[in-house]
Amino acid sequence: MSILAYVLFKVSSGTEREVCQKLIEFSEVVHADIIFGEYDVVAKVETPELDNLEEFISLKIRNVPNVLVTSTMIVSREYKGKNRVRKQS
């Protein structure tokens, strides 16, 4: 059973896109989004085991340039909602 987690990031001002581009290079990152609020970026991460998650965050995520703070939330149960495609304006 794989481990899913959401990792929230506070990043240096103006580097949100750069951080997201770096994050999606990692195979463990399912997707990354720029968000508004207390944090700047959120990434959904999947690893085979809890130990792999700890290693991924400690050795890779925290070494991404311009990442100031991370907060990790491990998913206890996943539910799937409706798939929606947003129209681009």
Instruction: Please give the domain boundaries of the chain with CATH numbers for all domains.
Output: 3-74 (3.30.70.920)
Q: Which residues pair with 67 in a beta bridge?
A: 11
Mean pLDDT of the 16-42 span: 98
The CA angle 40-43-46, to the nearest 5 degrees, is 165
The pLDDT of residue 83: 64
Amino acid at the residue 57: I
pLDDT at residue 86 in the model: 57
pLDDT, residue 88, reads: 58
Q: Which residue has the tokens 């700047």?
A: 40
pTM for the whole structure: 0.87
More confident residue, 47 or 83: 47
Average pLDDT over residues 13-32: 98
